[in-house]
Structure 1
Amino acid sequence: MSENSPNDPPDGASPAVITRDLTKVFDAGDSEVRALDSVNVGFTRGRFAAIMGPSGSGKSTLMHCLAGLDSATSGSVRVGETEITGLGDKELTLLRRQRIGFIFQSFNLLPVLTARQNILLPAQIAGREVDQERFDHIVDVVGLRDRLDHTPAKLSGGQQQRVAVARALLSSPDVTFADEPTGNLDSRSGAEVLDFLRDSAREMGQTIVMVTHDPVAAAYADRVVFLRDGRLVDELYEPSAESVLDRIGKLEV
């Protein structure tokens, strides 16, 4: 582990999301699988973080628990000042709708809607007034100004993912979770999306937590945390692709 505690970021900034002794156990018939084992980790506001680990390490389970998509067996998760462990389904749905953004590998755009309509859809469902200045800024940053009236079928994969990113960030969520966001993209399109995620953290103060298996993608983050067998075992600040690959290699030995 580095000298910094996972709950004590180097600049002392407060965490957007934090866990305490987070444990998740799945019933596997005659046995139990401990997917997360007393994980303590915090993710700093306005930073871009990546979660990595070998297959079966618990990285996707951690993201799902952080985002309120799955419940903890024990321990706690706090988003900002809100303890989400134990919230009911309606409360969790409201929390995700109002304070959490999601970016998926598969884009999850509605094919009958234009790029503009897809970006605005969550705000319309939630009955929120859209900040037009922020909408214009995000659209310009992701380079979609001349594609807003196109449906997903008329957009490249990279453009579709940029629509998904813009949709996730429009409401200024407390934290945005990205699950393998470049998994379906070529290297150039993936780099464009990762550049925007990094810039959204640095220039707009967004908090991004990304699950990835790709050392090159992880190198765009400010910090990488590494899981193995459901436990937080290492972390790396200001990573390079080479340093991430080295850490992953050691974990898989």
Structure 2
Amino acid sequence: MTVTDQAAVRAVDVTKTYGGGQTQVDALIGLTASFGKGRFTAIMGPSGSGKSTLLHCLAGLDRPTSGQVFIGDVEVAGLSEKQLTHLRRDRIGFVFQAFNLVPTLTALENITLPLDLAGRSPDQQWLTTVIDTIGLGDRLQHKPSELSGGQQQRVACARALASRPEVVFADEPTGNLDSQSSADVLGFLHRSVREFGQTVVMVTHDPTAASYADRVLFLADGRLRSELIDPTAETVLDTMKSLDPAVAG
């Protein structure tokens, strides 16, 4: 990232330690990284590399043991639980592998749920744009049980974007989907960056999913090991092979 780029999210010398003594696990070790506004960044690494821990620390779902995380110019670790709740509600969107839709609500009600809980009215023009982009305009009154897995995840993506957050964090968003549904969801995230200027930070283990990003960061043993700009599935796989002998095998 060039010095002229603005960072939507920054991690500065972040360490995350679990346990103590002989059972201590250093999930992140002095990790520093920036995530540019209006960019799509994927985070990859072998199992246990710290990628999900990093995502949770960046999104304010977990606090680093030491170091700093910034959303824009706000230092996350210094916030109270109440302030952190407001930050997550107002400035952050989440997409998780398990969809996390409310089964008793329609697709549209699920999309607007974060705004409803915050007591905010949606920007109707923006909401219409998001709904048009996910291509489920004729399914808005359906409950999650009446939607396919790919459709449910697209609803979850729309929910993450409904409040027009500064950054959307996605944790293995295609992990439960077939290849066509994965392509639909990733295409939507890619369009949200290209057309709406959204910032997306995604953890994935899939080289094809990572190829939708502008940039891929590779973690191993809690440290940042490598980086790719304008990745392809092939260059991602080659880099993963160099970090994880199990992939090469």
Q: Do the structures match in fold with TM over 0.5?
A: yes
Question: 1:18 aligns to what?
Answer: 10
RMSD over aligned Cα, in angstroms? Answer: 1.0
The equivalent of 2:193 in structure 1 is 201
Corresponding position: 1:133 with 2:125: yes
Paired residues, number:
245
Distance, in Å, in 2 between the alignment partners of 1:41 and 1:190 is 27
* 1:192 corresponds to 2:179: no
- Separation in 1 of the partners of 2:157 and 2:21? 38
- Structure 2: give runs of 5+ residues left out of the alignment: none
Residue 32 of structure 1: CA displacement?
Answer: 1.5
Higher fraction of helix: 2
Q: Which residue of 1 aligns with 2:73?
A: 81
Partner of 1:34: 26
> Residues of 2 paired with 1:12 and 1:227: CA distance?
25
Supply the AA of the counterpart residue of 1:216: T
Query: Can you list the C-alpha shifts for 1:55-109, whole angstroms capped at 9, x where unaligned?
Result: 0000000000000110111110000010111311111111101110000101000
Distance 2:223 2:231 in 1: 20
Tell me, what secondary structure is at the counterpart of 1:85?
helix
Give the distance between the partners of 1:28 and 1:221, measured in 2 at CA. 36
2:160 to 165, 168, 185: 168
Which deviations, in whole Å up to 9, do the C-alpha atoms of 1:168-193 show, x marking residues without a partner? 00111111100000011100000000
Structure-1-length-normalised TM-score: 0.95
After superposition, residues 110-125 of structure 1 pair within 5 angstroms as 110-125=102-117
Q: 2:238 aligns with which of 225, 234, 246?
A: 246
Identical-residue share of aligned pairs (%): 60
Q: Partner of 2:218 in structure 1?
A: 226
1:12 deviation in Å?
2.5
In structure 2, the partner of 1:6 is none
Separation (CA, whole Å) in 1 of partners of 2:159 and 2:227: 30
Give structure 1 stretches of 5+ with no counterpart: 1-8
User: Quick one: structure 1 residues 229 and 41, their matched pair in 2 at CA, closer, same or farther if it must change by over 3 Å?
Assistant: same
SS of 1:225 mapped into structure 2: strand
Distance apart, 1:11 and its partner CA: 7.4
* SS of corresponding position for 1:194: helix
In 1, Cα distance between the equivalents of 2:7 and 2:205? 24
